[in-house]
């Protein structure tokens, strides 16, 4: 009888450990990519934010090329979002909330330029996405817009 209860105790311990480990090893996934990140009270303000050339979707090729360089180097974006934009960079792996997959065209459809720029200035509070553009981040506004122009290129659907 005593042996049975010891076995049962060990069994419960093993099951408990398995549950804890599987939770810790669970692959970090994206938090709902279509839900807005800009607080409602700031939506009207960001609506008017655009790059000097009008829209990140019609950026000149030299701006896109500059954005690519920055994205992969001093911008640090590729470290988390991956060179491929799929959100699979090495520094993003341990994060509980995964980096955005920029190849998701639905994400680009729902996000305006202003909303993307707000994220670069403020980060996404409560996640590993830190402010990247000044004053809280290290990039200039012009660099931030160039990176966003490149980020749009990860969606390969031309109808957007
Ligand atoms: C330390 C890792 C890390 C780095 C470096 C990083 N990001 Fe992120 N990024 C994240 C994570 C995590 C999320 C997901 C946040 C969320 O779901 O709210 C995210 C989300 C985003 C989003 C989506 C926000 C939205 O509206 O849903 C954009 C845009 C973005 N990052 C752009 C960038 C750019 C551009 C750079 C480089 C200048 C960059 N990130 C660098 C981790 C990172």
Please give the distance, rounded to the nearest whole angstrom, from the Cα atom of residue 94 to the centre of ligand 1: 14
Domain membership of residue 121 (yes or no) is yes
Q: Is 97 helix (H, G, I), strand (E, B) or coil?
A: strand
User: Would the pLDDT of 17 be above 50?
Assistant: no
Domain membership of residue 71 (yes or no) is yes
Q: What is the pLDDT of residue 24?
A: 47
Q: What is the pLDDT of residue 9?
A: 64
User: Would the pLDDT of 146 be above 70?
Assistant: yes
> Which helix H or strand E contains 119, and what residues bound it?
helix 113-122
As a whole number, mean pLDDT of residues 118-132 equals: 97
Number of domains in the chain: 1
Whole-model pTM: value is 0.86
Domain membership of residue 103 (yes or no) is yes
Domain membership of residue 23 (yes or no) is no
3-state secondary structure string across 24-85: HHCCCEECCCCCCCCCHHHHHHHCCCCCCCCCHHHCCHHHHHHHHHHHHCCCCHHHHHCCCC
Domain membership of residue 4 (yes or no) is no
Domain membership of residue 21 (yes or no) is no
The CATH number covering residue 94 comes to: 1.10.760.10
Q: What is the pLDDT of residue 41?
A: 96
User: Would the pLDDT of 109 be above 90?
Assistant: yes
Report the percentage of the chain scoring pLDDT > 70. 81
Show the domain range for 85.
30-152
Residues with CB under 6 A from ligand 1: 31, 33, 37, 75-77, 79-81, 91-92, 95, 97, 99-100, 111, 115-116, 119-120, 124, 127-129, 132, 147, 151
As a whole number, mean pLDDT of residues 7-24 equals: 52
Domain membership of residue 63 (yes or no) is yes
- The size of the chain, in residues, is 160
Cα distances (angstroms) measured from residue 154 to each of 48, 81, 135, 143: 24, 11, 27, 18
Q: What angle do CA 112, 77, 73 make, to 5 degrees?
A: 130
- Count Cα neighbours of 2 within 13 Å in the Cβ-side half-sphere: 0
Cα distances (angstroms) measured from residue 25 to each of 19, 21, 62, 96: 10, 6, 42, 10
Categorize the per-residue pLDDT at 157 as very low, low, confident or very high, splitting at 50, 70 and 90: confident
Nearest to 80 by CA among 45, 38, 123, 50: 123
- Count Cα neighbours of 114 within 13 Å in the Cβ-side half-sphere: 11
Structure token pair of residue 84: 């491929």
Please give the distance, rounded to the nearest whole angstrom, from the Cα atom of residue 92 to the centre of ligand 1: 10
Residues 113, 49: contact at Cβ < 8 Å?
Answer: yes
Domain membership of residue 122 (yes or no) is yes
């Amino acid at each position: 009888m005593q042996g049975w209860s010891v076995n049962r105790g060990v069994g419960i311990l093993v099951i408990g450990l398995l549950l804890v480990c599987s939770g810790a090893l669970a692959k970090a996934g994206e938090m709902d990519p279509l839900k807005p990140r800009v607080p409602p009270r700031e939506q009207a303000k960001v609506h008017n934010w655009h790059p000097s050339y009008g829209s990140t979707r019609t950026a000149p090729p030299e701006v896109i090329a500059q954005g690519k360089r920055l994205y992969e180097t001093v911008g640090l974006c590729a470290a988390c979002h991956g060179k491929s934009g799929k959100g699979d960079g090495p520094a993003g792996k341990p994060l509980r909330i995964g980096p955005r997959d920029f190849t998701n065209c639905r994400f680009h459809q729902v996000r305006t330029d202003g909303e993307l720029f707000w994220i670069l200035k403020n980060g996404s509070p409560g996640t590993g996405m830190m402010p990247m553009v000044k004053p809280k981040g290290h990039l200039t506004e012009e660099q931030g817009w160039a990176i966003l122009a490149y980020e749009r290129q990860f969606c390969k659907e031309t109808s957007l």
